Chains A and B, each alone.
Chain A
Amino acid sequence: MKKILLLFTIAVLSFMSCDYVVAPNQVGTVTVPLSDTVRKIFIEDFTGHTCPNCPTASRMLDSLGAAYPTQIIGMGVHIDYYAEPCPPHQLPSGATPGTFSEDFRVAAEDADYDLVFGSNSFGLPTGLVNRYGFPTSFPTAVTAWPSTVATILAQPMTAYIKIIPSYNTSSRNLSVNVTGNFMVDTTGTYNIALYLVESEIIGSQTDITFPAPGIDNNFEFNHVFRGCINTPGIVTGETINSGSILNNTPINYSTTNTYTVNPLFVDTHCKIIAILYKTSDYGVLQAAEVDLR
């Protein structure tokens, strides 16, 4: 019997191991390519101004942007309960009357996000990292964004896209061309979706890291999702190619509608985001971002 137990113990210990980590933080910086023809990651950050943990996601986007310069393209999608503007009786405890009046929601697009991704049942903050893992393991928790980004960046680039906007500052009408090429042989249906985002908006945000009552009245909201450019109200964009696609197949897409930028948006703070994705799993092949003007 003793021999059996000894053998069992040895067998257990021999094939199992534990990695004790004494210094968890990486030393040095991550080396990343800086040219434009690199894989870029699109992160949809689902958030709300009365969500006290959501600034953590915003800071994570900043950290990832610093770790992978030019490769992280973020978009703050303000949804559901936590994004509602607060009338006086719903103000967060300790908030000054009149604050939290901003409404960053985009009604039709938010409804479509819910229809496609079930976003209204997400627990905030959370996100979609290149829509990776859909439909089996999404959304991606904020703390898992770095690992997911690293996993995606370890994969070879499969497409390249570039945005060429045409914006009339007087009429505020916008049309967009997207060019590029596929970089692998592939099959499937591929869409391009174009989004408008606005940054540098100062407003109120509950923040769990702030001293009580945990409210930052000078929070800077960046890359706030303002709407879909090529398919207003529909977040899935337009199909540009389907079937068998060969390596080096060019991408040449132009918007067919005239999109007028809302006069309430500060157009010098706005950017255009383009994503190319496969419709079967929403996986983003490549993303791009450019200033509106």
Chain B
Amino acid sequence: MKNVLKLIICLLVGSITITTAQTNLNNIGGGQIHGNFDISAQYYIPDSIIGADTIPEKALFNGWSAVTYVNGKFSAGIRYESYLNHLNGFPSGYQGTGIPYRYASYNNDGLEITVGNSYEQFGSGLILRSFEERALGIDNAIEGIRIRYTPCKGVYLKGLWGKQRNFMSTGPGIVRAADGEFNVNELFGSRMENIKTQLIFGGSFVSKFQVDQDPFLVLPQNVGAWSARTNVIRNRINFSTEYAYKINDPSAANGFIYKPGEALFSSLSYSQKGLGIYLGFLRVDNFSFRSDRTAALTQLNINLIPTLTKQHTYALASYYPFASQPNGQTCWQAQMDYKLKKGSKLGGKYGTDISLNYSAAYGLDTTKLNDGTGKRFGYSSNWLPIGDTMYFNDLNVEIFRKFNQRLKATILFAHFIYNKNALEGKSNYPYINADVVVVDVTWKINSKLTLRSDAEHMLLGGKKESKEDYGNWAALLEELSIGDHYFIALMDQYNYGNKEPSRRVHYFSGQAGFFKGTNRIVLGYGKQRQGIFCVGGVCRQIPASNGFTITITSSF
């Protein structure tokens, strides 16, 4: 009961609690300050052949610096950001300088209250995930109040109320959210000691408010979404699933239809020494959830629909990435990791890792409804069969082997089928079939020098596909590490199969870097091809560029 009273008091007079906490801090000495610094700048040289535009400023710059102060149960921080002007291809909303991220937090007896900006995720993020992904220009931190409360072991409650960051300001909508998670084994403690199965249940509710001023439609000003999830762990098996539902949420993303949305994300994994198996399934139907119904691209997303495709890191293997489709998709993924034993004939002295992965994404099976003057659901959909439109397919195998103390290598083969029309909003493109081979060898020459060589090739299948897209590519990377403080890297990506001979361009680039402690300085020069860059299924267009770059990072 004591905890209940504390919860009520904190919910109702959170600000008073914070004030009191801060007052008490005056009596606490010590504390630590941490920070980091990160700038990226580029000098641009126009290049009409690769499509690198003339940049009026000639040089552009992004900079961030975060400072955090921690003193016992109290912490506070700010992040200064500067875009003068933002790097080419970065979301154009980032302009000028400011301190768009700042917070103060106090944690006492299981109750943590944060005022200002905070990041949060409920479950797998189907109905709420606020996060920063700097490379994509995404920061949807929620500015307001966040409360986390653990009344007893095994019970975890969260609540937040605020507006989402929208570049250098906040969006128009208000987000209200609550989440509860219950770990049964922790909750019942000793009574569950002999039970091998771990059970975790959770549930979330998120509501957004945005005023309705539409002249044609009656828009819901309050839109709610809920989800339920569970995680069952027994021995080497881990099963988790989450189902989410959203009421009518007409928005620019879904064409202002009133159909409710739903999403299901399930995964099953098994692991033992030398073997890991993962199976995943995701179905999403009309589940774009934003705090501004007119927002587009990566702006003001309340949730994040995960992707079930492998995140390739090699340049050509990531040439055709899959972008998660919140309006509708059915995806699955299977992966098996197996280690050939050390000392065996096939495994060699150190063993060999083999990873086999398959993922596919399809559209939904939908029927268009002509109900524009009625309910405006737009379409109806079925769970089965899945839709006819394939978005993406990736079958890949990756083999890693360490030959001796100085030599190790990775070989990757991947076959992609990519629907450029669906994923990039193009028309009249056939499915793109691409086969990618990567050979990545690292050779430790001596105690000071390590050379990494990475050769890649992408072959587009069929004459038609080769004509329609940019054709075949080859790439070579040579990276030399010198001691613990320096590296030099040279890379060439050659679009030798482009249907237009004048565009069979070498994209040369080079980098040199210096590290000392937490300081890192990297200078570069070269061409970057136009493309799509994705992290976790969220993508943005990268324009072609040519010029000098400098990146400096540091932390303390």
Mark B192-231 against chain A: 1 for CB-CB distance below 8 A, else 0.
Answer: 0000000000000101000001111111111110000000
Mark A138-156 against chain B: 1 for CB-CB distance below 8 A, else 0.
Answer: 1111111011111100100
A215 to B337, CA, bound (A): 50
Is B294 an interface position by the 8 A CB rule? Answer: yes
Q: Give the bracket for the number of chain A residues in contact with chain B.
A: 35 or more
Interface residues of A in 36-72 (CB under 8 A from B): 50-52, 63, 67-68
B93: contacting residue among A93, A136, A142, CB under 8 A:
A136
A291 to B87, CA, bound (A): 42
Q: Is the CB of A147 within 8 A of B157?
A: no
Is A17 an interface position by the 8 A CB rule? Answer: yes
The distance from the CB of A293 to the nearest CB of chain B, in whole angstroms, is 33
The distance from the CB of A204 to the nearest CB of chain B, in whole angstroms, is 15
Q: Which residues of B contact A123 (CB under 8 A)?
A: 425
A4: contacting residue among B155, B213, B427, CB under 8 A:
B155
Is A8 an interface position by the 8 A CB rule? Answer: yes
Q: Which residues of B contact A210 (CB under 8 A)?
A: none
The distance from the CB of B480 to the nearest CB of chain A, in whole angstroms, is 36
Q: Is the CB of A30 within 8 A of B215?
A: yes
Is B299 an interface position by the 8 A CB rule? Answer: yes
Q: Is the CB of B4 within 8 A of A4?
A: yes
The distance from the CB of B222 to the nearest CB of chain A, in whole angstroms, is 5
A5 to B155, CA, bound (A): 10
A7 to B250, CA, bound (A): 32
Q: Which residues of B contact A140 (CB under 8 A)?
A: 252, 294
A24: contacting residue among B207, B258, B296, CB under 8 A:
B258
A21: contacting residue among B3, B187, B248, CB under 8 A:
B248
Q: Which residues of B contact A12 (CB under 8 A)?
A: 159, 178, 205
Q: Is the CB of A11 within 8 A of B178?
A: yes
* B224 (CB) vs chain A CBs: closest residue: A18
Mark A6-37 against chain B: 1 for CB-CB distance below 8 A, else 0.
Answer: 01100110011111111111100010000000
Q: Which residues of A contact B224 (CB under 8 A)?
A: 16-18
The distance from the CB of B3 to the nearest CB of chain A, in whole angstroms, is 7
Q: Is the CB of B427 within 8 A of A25?
A: no
Q: Which residues of A contact B218 (CB under 8 A)?
A: 21, 23-26
Is B408 an interface position by the 8 A CB rule? Answer: no
Q: Of A17, A24, A115, A150, which is in contact with the most chain B CB atoms at under 10 Å from its CB?
A: A24
* A138 (CB) vs chain B CBs: closest residue: B92
* A114 (CB) vs chain B CBs: closest residue: B53
The distance from the CB of A140 to the nearest CB of chain B, in whole angstroms, is 6
Is B180 an interface position by the 8 A CB rule? Answer: yes
* A26 (CB) vs chain B CBs: closest residue: B216
The distance from the CB of B370 to the nearest CB of chain A, in whole angstroms, is 11
Mark A119-138 against chain B: 1 for CB-CB distance below 8 A, else 0.
Answer: 00101000000000001111
Q: Is the CB of A21 within 8 A of B258?
A: yes
Stretch at the interface among B114-122, B164-172, B309-317, B490-498: B164-172
* B211 (CB) vs chain A CBs: closest residue: A151
Q: Which residues of B contact A114 (CB under 8 A)?
A: 53
Is A118 an interface position by the 8 A CB rule? Answer: yes
Q: Give the bracket for the number of chain B residues in contact with chain A.
A: 35 or more
Q: Is the CB of B219 within 8 A of A21?
A: yes
Q: Which residues of A contact B251 (CB under 8 A)?
A: 143-144
Q: Is the CB of A93 within 8 A of B428?
A: yes
The distance from the CB of A214 to the nearest CB of chain B, in whole angstroms, is 10
Is A92 an interface position by the 8 A CB rule? Answer: yes
Q: Is the CB of B252 within 8 A of A52?
A: no
Interface residues of B in 214-270 (CB under 8 A from A): 214-224, 247-248, 250-253, 255-256, 258
* A52 (CB) vs chain B CBs: closest residue: B427
Q: Of A23, A118, A137, A140, which is in contact with the most chain B CB atoms at under 10 Å from its CB?
A: A137
A136 to B90, CA, bound (A): 12
Knowing A25-B216, A63-B216, A121-B541, say if A148 contacts B294 (CB, 8 Å). yes
B interface residues, Cβ below 8 angstroms from A: 1, 3-4, 7-8, 11, 53, 56, 92-93, 95, 151-152, 155, 157, 159, 161, 166-169, 176, 178, 180, 187, 205, 207, 213-224, 247-248, 250-253, 255-256, 258, 292-296, 299, 373, 375-376, 425, 427-428, 541, 543
Sample of 27 A–B contacts (CB below 8 Å)? A1-B155, A3-B1, A8-B180, A16-B224, A19-B223, A23-B218, A24-B217, A24-B218, A24-B375, A67-B215, A92-B428, A121-B541, A135-B92, A135-B93, A136-B92, A136-B169, A137-B93, A137-B296, A137-B299, A139-B296, A140-B252, A141-B253, A143-B251, A144-B252, A144-B293, A147-B213, A148-B294
Known: A4-B4, A18-B223, A21-B219; 14 extra A-B contacts, CB below 8 A, are A11-B11, A15-B161, A15-B176, A16-B178, A16-B224, A18-B220, A20-B220, A26-B218, A115-B56, A135-B95, A137-B166, A141-B296, A148-B294, A151-B213
A interface residues, Cβ below 8 angstroms from B: 1, 3-5, 7-8, 11-12, 15-26, 30, 50-52, 63, 67-68, 92-93, 114-115, 118, 121, 123, 135-144, 146-151, 154, 206
Kindly list the 3 A-B residue pairs having the minimum CB-CB distance in the complex, ordered from nearest: A144-B294, A141-B252, A18-B224
